[in-house]
Amino acid sequence: MAEEAPGTAAWDGGLKARVDGALHAFVAGETALLTAIDPELKPVSEQLTAAVADGKRLRAAFAYWGWRAAGQPDSEAMVRAATAMELVHAAAVVHDDLIDDSPVRRGLPTAHLALRRAAPAGPGREAAGRALAMLVGDLLTAWSGQLFAACGLPAGYLSRARPLWATLARELIAGECLEVLRTRAGAASEAGSLEIVRYKTAKYTVEHPLHLGALLGGAPPELLTALSAYGLPLGEAFQLRDDLLGVFGDPDRTGKSNLDDLAGAKPTALLAVALDRSGPADRARLRQLLEQPGPGELTELRALLERSGARARVEELIAERTAAARRALTAARLPAPTTAALDGLIGAATARTA
C-alpha cells in the first residue's frame, strides 16, 4: 500500500499529481494502441497499467528538481521528461520480481504470476507467464525513451541528456548482474553488497534523475558534481532502508513479503553483516534457515539479524549517508526552493515505512 512520504509538502507542491497525470495518460494511450492490435493482448495491457498505477514518484521528483537546480523555471514539458524515470523504475520492478520469483508487489500478484492466468492451461503455463512479464518489462523500458523524446522540450535540450540514458542502462544492468552473480555465492561482504546497492538502485533512483534534469537545464560540470555528492549517498541510504523494510517492515505497508530477500539469500548488506559478525553457532543456524525459510522461521531469522548487530550496522550506514547528503546539499548553495525540496526528499527517501 502506498502512503505519503515524510516531508512531502517540502518537495511536492502538486508535483506527484502532475507526474501521475502524465504517466497515466501516456500509458492509457499506449495500451489502447496495443489492444487495438488484438483484444487477446488485454491481460498484457492490464499489467502494463498495473505497473505504473501507484508509487512515490521520487525518481521523477529528483529529475524535476535537478532541472530547477540548474536555474530553470517550472515546466510541463520537464514534468513529462521527469515522468520517463518512473517508466524506468516500473520496468526494473517487473524484471526484478521476475528474477527473484517474488509473489507479491504492492499487495497484488506480481506480473509473472498474474500473466500466468492469461496463458493456456498446461505444463508451459508458468514459463508463458514469465515470458509475458519479461516482455512487459521490456516494453516499459522502451516507453521510457519514447516519453522522454516526446516530452516537448526543445531538441537541443534533449541532446544534452541523451548520453546519460546509456550510462543509466549500463550501470543499472551491472548492478542487477552483480546481485545475481553474488546471490548464494557464499562470500557476501559489506563492501560487495554496498557496490550492488550503488549500481542497482542508488544511481538510477537519485543521482541519474538529478543529472537528467540538470543536463536538460544546461547545468555546468560543477553542478553535476555537487548533485552527485548529494545523490549517491542518499540513493544508497534509500536502498539500505529498503533492505531493512524488506525484513523488518510491515507487509501491509510495504506491499511485499518479509521473506523475499531472505528466501533468495540476496547479498544485501544486512545479510552480509549478519554472516560476518555472527558467532559460529548463529552463523550455521542462519545459513540453515536461509535454505528454505518460511513464515514460521521469520521471528528466529529476525532475532539472529538483531543479535549479530546487522540491523544496527545498517541503521548506522543509513545515518552516515544521510548526513553526507545533508552536508553536500548545504555546500551546493542551490536556489532556496530547490534546497528546501531536496532537503525534504532526504526524509522521503530515508525516513519511510514503505
Global pTM value:
0.94
* Spatial CA neighbour of 325 closest among 348, 305, 299, 307: 348
What pLDDT does 6 receive?
A: 47
How many Å apart are CA 293 and CA 298, to the nearest integer?
7
- CB neighbour list of residue 199: distance below 8 Å, 6 or more residues apart: 171, 172, 174, 175, 178
Q: How confident is the model at residue 9 (pLDDT cuts 50, 70, 90)?
A: low
Q: What is the pLDDT of residue 10?
A: 61
What pLDDT score does 8 carry? 55
**Confidence tier at 297 by pLDDT (50, 70, 90):** confident
Q: Assess contact for 83 and 23: CB atoms under 8 A.
A: yes
Please, what's the b/e burial string for 139-157 (b: 16 or more CB within 10 A of its CB; e: otherwise)? Answer: bbbebbeebbeebebeeeb
Give the separation between CA 174 and CA 15, rounded to whole angstroms. Answer: 31
From residue 106, how far is each of 3, 110, 328, 345 by CA, in Å?
Answer: 11, 9, 33, 22
Counting every residue, how long is the chain? Answer: 354
Region 309-330: mean pLDDT is 98
| Rounded Cα gap, residues 220 and 179, in angstroms | 34
Is 51 in contact with 86 (CB distance < 8 Å)? Answer: no
Of the pLDDT bands very low, low, confident and very high (cuts 50, 70, 90), residue 4 is: very low
Delineate the domains of the chain, giving CATH numbers in brackets: 8-350 (1.10.600.10)
Tell me the CB-side half-sphere exposure of residue 148, using CA atoms within 13 A: 28
Q: Is the pLDDT of residue 5 over 80?
A: no
56 and 5 Cβ atoms separated by less than 8 Å: yes
Place of cell 498474474: 114
pLDDT at res. 186 = 63
Pairing of the two strands 104-105 and 108-109: antiparallel
At residue 2, does pLDDT exceed 50?
no
Question: Which of 310, 266, 315, 313 has the alpha carbon at shortest distance from 290?
Answer: 266
333 and 256 Cβ atoms separated by less than 8 Å = no
Q: Which three cell numbers stand for residue 111?
A: 506480473
pLDDT of residue 13: 87
